[in-house]
Amino acid sequence: MSLTKDYTLNIEKINTSRIGQVDFKNLVFGTTFTDHMFECDYKNGAWQNPTIRPYGPLSIYPSSKVLHYGQAVFEGMKAYKDEKGSIFLFRPLENLKRINISSKRLAIPEFPEELFFEALETLLKMDKAWAQTGVGNSLYIRPFVIANENCVSASPSNEYKFMIIISPVSAYYSGELKVVIAEQYSRSADGGVGFAKAAGNYAAQFYPTNLAKEKGFQQVIWTDSNSHKYLEEAGTMNVFFRINDTLITAPTSDRILDGVTRKSVIALAERDGIKVDVRKLTVTELVEAAKDGSLKEIFGSGTAAVISFVNGFSYKNTLYNLPKIENSYAKRFKKELMDIQYNLAADPFEWRHKVV
């Protein structure tokens, strides 16, 4: 990766904060943004002009390559405020590594670690007041890169814009989910970009997810594109299955996102002595487990939702409801994760990253 040899992070502060206009008790996920944003341009082979400025619209050409060829990747991460007013990130280096992996797959220049953390931490310190205390409240952070060269030739862009925007949020999903197992559509394919957080991955999910919602389901559990035999992800999340007392999740591959929350759940389970099988699980095996009662839980994991509980799934027009259990792994991991994130418990893994 390259960067101009010497740079200064330029800062343009707002005149008046918009925070007084925000009803923090009634936030709609991802629709409210803090006072400032970060942007940095890639031109002439180097990242340059890193700037924090007031949040606002961009001006781009209609010929910008992102609009024609989809060269865009993003990340999702969060910042948490504890009761003493300190701000923490959760495993932020993993997010930077992943956005650079995603970028490389889409022929986008990687972004420098030093500048990323300087920009992100400065931005969080400037907009610290937007972070609310209380479990469930957080600042959702969206770093992303778009190709913005003024050209429509079918080739990688020579110019890019890296940005960070921040949104105050409360819980992403409420309640439990009913899901349908995909029999026709696929989230990703072998040799593709399923492992990357490419913008187009999510656009391709919207139509089959809408079809599921029309039938009363909130999400889709995706299966492999070759045979639709193997369970892979749930909606925009990694997915876990508990059969008896064993936790099963699909191995990462070029089809499956290497989720930060997924890795954290596996680490917590192993620490707690819970058996984890990282292996392919067939739909047939899942259905049989549901029928004989050995299927105890299904839950999704991801940055926005943390842990999402599934209370039933449909396959071939048959609905299988999951039992209500007291010793839920999902509830256990959600509490353990959030206690670490909100500085309510010890952090033996050193996942917390204090900003201020």
Q: DSSP states of 142-178 as a string? A: EEEEEE--B--SSS--S-EEEEEEEEEE--SS-S-EE
Task: Quote the pLDDT of residue 305.
Answer: 83
Whole-angstrom distance, CA of residue 201 vs CA of residue 211: 17
Short-list 127, 235, 245, CA closest to 178: 235
Token code pair at residue 348? 């033996």
Short-list 138, 144, 155, CA closest to 58: 144
Token code pair at residue 103? 């970028």
Distances (CA, A) of 285 to 75, 185, 297: 33, 20, 14
- Listed in sequence order, the DSSP H helices in the chain are 66-69, 92-105, 113-126, 199-214, 260-271, 283-292, 329-341
Tell me the CB-side half-sphere exposure of residue 270, using CA atoms within 13 A: 10
Short-list 340, 346, 299, 348, CA closest to 90: 340
Short-list 276, 268, 284, 222, CA closest to 248: 276
- The dihedrals phi and psi of 46, each to the nearest 5 degrees, come to -150, 150
> DSSP assignment, residue 123?
H
Q: DSSP states of 250-285 as a string? A: PPPBTTB---HHHHHHHHHHHHTT-EEEES--BHHH
CATH 3.30.70.3270 is the classification of domain 177-341: no
Whole-angstrom distance, CA of residue 246 vs CA of residue 276: 6
Going residue by residue through the chain, which has 356 residues, state the pLDDT in tens, using 9 for 90 and above.
456 557 899 999 999 999 999 999 999 999 999 999 999 999 999 999 999 999 999 999 999 999 999 999 999 999 999 999 999 999 999 999 999 999 999 999 999 999 999 999 999 999 999 999 999 999 999 999 999 999 999 999 999 999 999 999 997 656 789 999 999 999 999 999 999 999 999 999 999 999 999 999 999 999 999 999 999 999 999 999 999 999 999 999 999 999 999 999 999 999 999 999 999 999 999 999 999 999 999 999 999 889 999 999 999 999 999 999 999 999 999 999 999 999 999 999 999 999 99
- Please tell me if the domain spanning 10-169 has the same topology as the one spanning 177-341: no
Structure-token match 């680490």, residue found: 267
Q: Which residues contact 144 (CB under 8 A, 6 or more apart)?
A: 72, 73, 74, 75, 162, 163, 164, 165, 199
Whole-angstrom distance, CA of residue 236 vs CA of residue 253: 16
Task: Quote the pLDDT of residue 5.
Answer: 53
CATH topology of domain 10-169: D-amino Acid Aminotransferase; Chain A, domain 1 (3.30.470)
Whole-angstrom distance, CA of residue 160 vs CA of residue 162: 7
Domain residue spans in the chain?
10-169, 177-341
**Residue 28: CB atoms within 10 Å:** 9
Task: Quote the pLDDT of residue 3.
Answer: 61
Q: Mapped to the 3 state alphabet, what secondary structure does 180-204 carry? A: EECCCCCCCCCCCCCCCCEHHHHHH
SS3 label, residue 89: strand
Whole-angstrom distance, CA of residue 335 vs CA of residue 314: 28
Task: Quote the pLDDT of residue 269.
Answer: 98
Chain Cα centroid distance, residue 228: 24
